[in-house]
Amino acid sequence: MTLLNRLDTKGSPYLYVTPFFLLFGVFGLFPLLYTGYVSFNDWDLLDAGEHTWVGLANYRELLHDPYFWNALGNTLSIWVLSTVPQLLAALWIAHLLNHRLRARTSLRMGVLLPNITSIVAVTIVFTQMFGRDFGMINWLLGLTGLGPVDWQANTWSSHLAISVIVAWRWTGYNALIYLASMQAIPHDLYEAAELDGASSGQQFWRITVPQLRPTIIFTAVISTIGGLQVMAEPLLFAGSSTPTGGSDRQFQTAALFMYEQGFREFRFGYASAIAWTLCLVIAVFAIANYLLTRRIANDEE
């Protein structure tokens, strides 16, 4: 009995955390590492899984593939266009919500609503609204005297439209995260600033923003990791099932390029090389962003 007891207290904690690590190992980590192995092979799904070791050939091809550089450029452009305005707007909305408000919960729910709807639903609705002929946005532009825009056809307009879709879905979520941190700021800081005659704008930039530093860094890093993997929005924005991101690949992202090469061209080795390269890019940008936001927030202190 005592032996069983000791076995229970010593052993069971490990047993209880095992399901998570097991599952992550099998379905998360192993596939990502194995992607590396696949990327060194000529691996064609149509040859019944036949594969031959080709060393760095896939990577060499990738570095000379204009489609890849195009996709990487599009990814960065959409990421910047969606993330920067999104986080600034979230900060502003959080500031608005950080007042004594009536219908507080309803307002917070209203802000969060976009985030609970699926990417597919959101993209379909916006694609309709961005429609060339009957879209609401072109109709509104027409009212202000601006000509209709063929949103899908141009590089800049498609990037802008996709960024709006991404940002619409995530701004409210980030606003609530900022709001939670704002509420944790000690009130004494504001009281002292008020006594010193600081305006509310000064209080916002000198107290609120520096106090939110860890949260801002966190959201910047998380939206980097997510933003550089964007693929469903450009896939569905095209309005067809072709994963090229428009007829001239004007809005194909890197993750979408990976999907095209893997599951349309069935070039698993090449697609895996894209995956690992993108992984590296994400790591570099996440770390750079961490250092950058840390520095910016530091300067404001």
CB atoms within 10 A of CB 259: 18
Pattern of binders to other proteins over 268-287, x per CB under 8 A? x--xx--xx-xx--x---x-
Q: What DSSP designation does 44 have?
A: B
Q: Which is nearer to other proteins, 37 or 156 (CB)?
A: 37
Span 133-162, contacts to other proteins by CB under 8 A = 133-134, 136, 139
Among 187, 196, 295, 299, binds other proteins (CB under 8 A): 187
Q: Which is nearer to other proteins, 268 or 299 (CB)?
A: 268
Q: Does 202 bind other proteins (CB under 8 A)?
A: no
Q: Does 32 bind other proteins (CB under 8 A)?
A: yes
To the nearest whole angstrom, how small is the minimum distance from the Cβ of residue 290 to other proteins? 11
Q: Does 109 bind other proteins (CB under 8 A)?
A: yes
Span 1-20, contacts to other proteins by CB under 8 A = 5, 8-10, 12-14, 16-17, 19-20
Q: Which is nearer to other proteins, 201 or 299 (CB)?
A: 201
Rounded to an integer, what distance in angstroms lies between the CA atom of residue 165 and that of residue 173?
A: 14
Q: Is the dihedral of CA 89, 90, 93, 99 positive or negative?
A: negative
Rounded to an integer, what distance in angstroms lies between the CA atom of residue 60 and that of residue 51?
A: 18
Q: What DSSP designation does 29 have?
A: I
Rounded to an integer, what distance in angstroms lies between the CA atom of residue 35 and that of residue 222?
A: 23
Span 70-89, contacts to other proteins by CB under 8 A = none
- Among candidate residues 199, 205, 200, 198, the one with its CA nearest the CA of residue 301: 205
CA distances from 162 to 116, 123, 252 (A): 18, 8, 11
To the nearest whole angstrom, how small is the minimum distance from the Cβ of residue 17 to other proteins? 5
Among 46, 63, 80, 116, binds other proteins (CB under 8 A): 116
Q: Which is nearer to other proteins, 17 or 56 (CB)?
A: 17
Q: Which is nearer to other proteins, 81 or 232 (CB)?
A: 232
- Among candidate residues 14, 59, 111, the one with its CA nearest the CA of residue 273: 59
Among 87, 129, 166, 167, binds other proteins (CB under 8 A): 129
Among 6, 28, 88, 132, binds other proteins (CB under 8 A): 28
State the distance between the two ends of the chain, measured CA to CA, in whole angstroms.
Answer: 60
Backbone angles phi, psi at 148, to 5 degrees: -65, 145
Residues ≥6 apart with Cβ < 8 Å to 214: 181
Q: Which residue has the tokens 């939206």?
A: 223
Span 217-256, contacts to other proteins by CB under 8 A = 218, 221-222, 225, 229, 231-232, 235-236, 238-241, 255
Give the total of residues touching other proteins (CB under 8 A). 103
